[in-house]
């Protein structure tokens, strides 16, 4: 998919760049992003809204993969940016993202984080809970600034891949529950405040969703709440944000919908309910993360040791693992891949791909079809672009990989490989006589 091809040497190519060359040039593990695919996805979401003739914002949920270059790429595609922490906010601002295009999420934003966001003049804060409303009121009053706010509602719809669950009340750490009246109370607080400008509401129903039913149901529940506010205090929403969650294909059998199919349905339902309440169609916002970057990246690993257990299983070990991709260990996530240096070779064996962490659970793929492998072969694992690097860690003091963007035959390093020195950068020496010196 994307710009992936196999060249004459039998090597996997991404963005017109030979991945075997990339592995030599930058070493492995290495994340290679097909930026043309990211651009194509961004355009597909935006064009779908434009075809519907509604006002919109597509915000990149940067938790999926954040770094300065990614924020700059997103900004160049005219995407807004969703951040969920001071660290993401800091990086986005440092990358030069226009503050007005940043939306700030999270269920426990600190006083310091909110202050930083208000000072920077970001586009909106998605308020999650009563404590946050209090903090916002206090900070905005002190700083004599108005803050634009969306209220995060929990509509009681949870969607995962094929199933969606509709409950009266949602047992979730995020947002104001509609069913128990929390959302109502939050709206009253926001409306009464001199410093909070309530733009509208937000809902997010889950991730890796392959159907539109969950969105349809959530939109209905959101509008039922809006109807109550219309009757109670003439509330007119200017913005409705329906979150992210659009699925991608990781393995055979995953059947995501096209971006335009999700958007068409979301717009249709929004129009229908807005008409019902006699409201103008509010600006519609979405926040895709995975569907913008997930299948755009491939991780390159070098194969090291192998182990055969006769009649049971063949293991191969790679030079990364749960330190650069936590998803198999955390969610039992499935991946496909091939040998990048012998991409034409027939997959006649199956190997289970082990990471190098000191942990039996560090298995990246069970029973992956591959040709007979040798030490030094380059294994390419697909669709690692979302929640791969962003959840990477230093377990066992393994340095985090490098990241490159590849497009039109050129490659560009966007995150350097972590060095051993980087790993000890924050460490301070042990002081035996700490009591005497302090
Ligand atoms: N908006 C909100 C409020 C969210 O909580 C999320 C994801 C998104 C947008 C983006 O969702 P996406 O379009 O990427 O599905 N670490 C997990 C995924 C966690 C998603 C958390 N929230 C994984 O690796 O599957």
CA of 161 to the centre of ligand 1 (A): 13
Pick out the chain residues at pLDDT < 50.
Answer: none
Residues forming the active site: 358
For residue 76, give its domain range.
Answer: 35-290
CATH of the domain at 368: 2.40.37.10
pLDDT for 163 equals: 76
pLDDT tens per residue across span 53-96: 999 999 999 999 999 999 999 999 999 999 999 999 999 999 99
Shortest-distance Cα residue to atom 20 of ligand 1: 207
Counting the structural domains of the chain, the total is 2
- Residue after which a domain boundary falls, among 272, 290, 308: 290
Q: Are residues 174 and 304 in the same domain?
A: no
Q: What is the structure's pLDDT at 168?
A: 65
390 lines ligand 1 (CB under 6 A): no
pTM: 0.97
Domain co-membership, 90 together with 21: no
ipTM above 0.90, yes or no: yes
Q: How far apart are CA 110 and CA 129, in angstroms?
A: 12
83/200 same-domain check:
yes
Q: Is there a binding annotation on residue 250? A: no
* 3-class DSSP state of 62: helix
Tell me: the pLDDT tens digits for 88-135?
999 999 999 999 999 999 999 999 999 999 999 999 999 999 999 999
On whether residue 434 sits in a domain, the answer given is no
Q: Are residues 250 and 332 in the same domain?
A: no
> Do 9 and 87 fall into the same domain?
no
Q: Could you tell me if 256 and 395 lie in one domain?
A: no
Q: What 3-state DSSP class applies to 226?
A: helix
Tell whether 288 is in a known binding site: yes
What pLDDT is attached to residue 147?
Answer: 97
- Cβ–ligand 1 distance for 29 under 6 Å, the answer no
SS3 7: coil
Sole residue written with tokens 């009464």 = 192
Has 289 been labeled as part of a binding site?
yes
**Are 71 and 217 members of one domain?**
yes
Q: Is residue 134 part of a domain?
A: yes
Query: Is there a domain that residue 432 lies in?
Result: no
Q: What is the DSSP string of 365-419?
A: EEEEEEPPP-TTPEEEEE---SSSGGG---GGGPPPPEEEEEETTEEEEEEPPPP
pLDDT, residue 437, reads: 61
Residue finishing a domain among 231, 265, 290? 290
Q: Is the dihedral of CA 361, 364, 368, 371 positive or negative?
A: negative
Residue 220: which CATH number?
3.20.20.10
State residue 172's pLDDT score: 87
Same domain, 50 and 26: no
Among 164, 289, 293, the mutation site with the greatest number of ligand 1 atoms within 8 A of its Cβ is 289
Distance 97 CA to ligand 1 centre (A): 21
């Amino acid at each position: 998919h994307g710009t992936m091809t196999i060249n004459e040497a039998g090597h996997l190519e991404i963005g017109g760049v030979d991945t075997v060359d990339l592995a030599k040039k930058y070493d492995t593990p290495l994340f290679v992003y097909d930026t043309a695919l990211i651009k194509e996805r961004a355009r597909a979401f935006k064009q779908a809204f434009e075809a519907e003739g509604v006002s919109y914002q597509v915000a990149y949920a940067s938790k999926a993969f954040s770094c300065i270059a990614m924020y700059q790429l997103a900004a160049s595609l005219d995407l807004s940016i969703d951040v969920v922490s001071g660290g993401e906010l800091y990086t986005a601002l440092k990358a030069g993202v226009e503050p007005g295009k940043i939306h700030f999420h999270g269920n426990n934003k600190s006083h310091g984080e909110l202050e930083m966001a208000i000072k920077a003049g970001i586009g909106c804060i998605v308020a999650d809970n009563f404590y946050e409303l209090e903090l916002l009121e206090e900070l905005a009053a002190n700083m004599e600034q108005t803050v634009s706010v969306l209220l995060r509602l929990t509509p009681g719809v949870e969607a995962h891949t094929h199933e969606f669950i509709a409950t009266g009340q949602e047992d979730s750490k995020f947002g104001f529950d509609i069913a128990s009246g929390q959302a109502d109370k939050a709206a009253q607080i926001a409306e009464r405040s001199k410093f909070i400008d309530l733009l509208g509401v937000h809902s997010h129903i889950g991730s890796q969703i392959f159907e539109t039913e969950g969105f349809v149901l959530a939109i209905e529940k959101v509008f039922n709440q809006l109807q109550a506010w219309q009757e109670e205090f003439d509330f007119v929403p200017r913005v409705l944000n329906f979150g992210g969650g659009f699925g991608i294909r990781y393995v055979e059998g995953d059947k995501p919908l096209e971006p335009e199919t999700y958007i068409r349905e979301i717009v249709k339902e929004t129009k229908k309910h807005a008409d019902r309440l006699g409201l103008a169609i509010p600006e519609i916002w979405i926040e895709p993360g995975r569907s913008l970057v997930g299948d755009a990246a491939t991780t390159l690993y070098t194969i090291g040791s192998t182990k055969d257990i006769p009649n049971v299983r063949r293991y191969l070990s790679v030079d990364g693992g749960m330190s650069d991709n936590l998803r198999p260990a955390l969610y039992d996530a499935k991946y496909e891949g091939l040998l990048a240096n012998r991409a034409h070779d027939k997959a006649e064996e199956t190997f289970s791909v082990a990471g190098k962490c000191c942990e039996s659970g560090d298995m990246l793929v069970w029973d992956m079809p591959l040709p007979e492998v040798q030490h030094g072969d380059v294994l390419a694992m697909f669709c690692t672009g979302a929640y791969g690097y962003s959840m990477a860690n230093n377990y066992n003091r393994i340095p985090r990989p490098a990241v490159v963007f590849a497009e039109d035959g050129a490659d560009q390093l966007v995150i350097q490989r972590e060095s051993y020195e980087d790993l000890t950068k924050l460490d301070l020496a042990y002081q035996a006589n700490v009591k005497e010196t302090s």
